[in-house]
Structure 1
């Protein structure tokens, strides 16, 4: 019975719990979160600090108005998009090599993505450091 009620609540949209962060409007995937996008149902300090931590992050999937916003829905803003031409920088043992690649994944600052080295046609795993720049360290 409880399971049925929980499933029903998920389908029709359960009301927001006290102190939870919810979306004020429908937030499309790829949108950077600003204060006007989020609401806190009451003055709960934990929810306010949670909301503040969400500001500046990017929605990884669509978040519908009135629904709770959870950390798994958000990530760092995308600096490299799939199929972008990027600079691959290799650093290790006092050596630095830079070449071009094509991003096989999208990623934000600090995230690991797959990149195809254009010269060797080999995929490599690199960390996004700036717009259009990924780095491999050894």
Structure 2
């Protein structure tokens, strides 16, 4: 006889706590949605938005009107703050901390790479890194790097950067291309410096022994203007 009555009292006592948990959840969800509406993921990227739990000691009346929200200072940062307001006679407001992580896929070293390592599908992989940690234009397609070599030691998991590579390394035998009218002329040379795609490089023409200057167009290839 006493057990049902005890259970009833416990249930009644728990009702305010349950209601409060619902309000807290509504506030967190609104804060997350507010950030989500104002942020765009980069191409192929991801966005993670997570509102912090509210202090359980905070008691909020159930709002009779739709809750309002705004991003404090209007800026989305790694640690953003959203103001949530209940308007009305018994109105209230609170601030919610929201963690925001924008990540994008980049090419990283699958293992430690020593200086002069030849890059292949076996030693490269894709990983998601936070955008604010990235500088310049990181590679997103491992195949763009195949056949190039490292200019320095690269630790496992580190993002591969253009300055780490040479598509033509000093002393490499290279294909020298030149276009004359509608014809393409090819010859061989020896690189006198190291460079990545798009960089200017000098090489010695094996046949003529003359130095030529051109741009790296692919692994082991350069193009000169005649």
TM-score w.r.t. structure 1 length?
Answer: 0.50
